[in-house]
């Protein structure tokens, strides 16, 4: 049986160009995207220079988790690359710039 229940997804439209070609990036995916490259770079640096650079990796992951918590889910338009946030209501009123 291959009759999967299709969830009635709301079609998203770009606020800028009204294109339905929107990509939704979930929190996990956003985090992976943001984390993989710096982790690889840190690992390469650690191999080349000193293993102490491996200590940056947990920090990077933690930092990207914090960023992902704020920004994800992220919605990107394929047509005009306009970014919009999935849940603007979740924005905190006060920004803590660190």
**Which residues here bind Zn ion, judged by CB under 5 A?**
14, 16-17, 19, 77, 79-80, 82
Q: Which is nearer to Zn ion, 22 or 43 (CB)?
A: 22
Question: What does the block give as tokens for 39?
Answer: 């982790």
- In the complex, the smallest distance separating the C-beta of residue 37 from Zn ion, rounded to whole angstroms, is 26
- In the complex, the smallest distance separating the C-beta of residue 12 from Zn ion, rounded to whole angstroms, is 10
Rounded to whole angstroms, how far apart are CA atoms 72 and 68?
A: 5
Cβ–Cβ < 8 Å for 83, 76: yes
- In the complex, the smallest distance separating the C-beta of residue 22 from Zn ion, rounded to whole angstroms, is 8
Give the residue ranges of DSSP H helices in the chain. Answer: 27-48, 56-71
């Amino acid at each position: 049986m291959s009759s999967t229940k299709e969830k009635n997804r709301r079609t998203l439209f770009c606020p800028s160009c009204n294109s339905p070609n929107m990509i939704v990036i979930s929190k996990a995916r956003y985090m992976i995207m943001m984390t993989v490259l710096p982790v690889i770079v840190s690992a390469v640096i650690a191999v080349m220079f000193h293993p102490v650079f491996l200590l940056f990796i947990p920090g990077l992951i933690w930092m990207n988790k914090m960023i992902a918590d704020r920004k994800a889910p992220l919605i990107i338009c394929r047509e005009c690359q306009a970014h919009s946030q999935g849940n603007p209501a979740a924005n905190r009123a006060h920004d803590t710039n660190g």
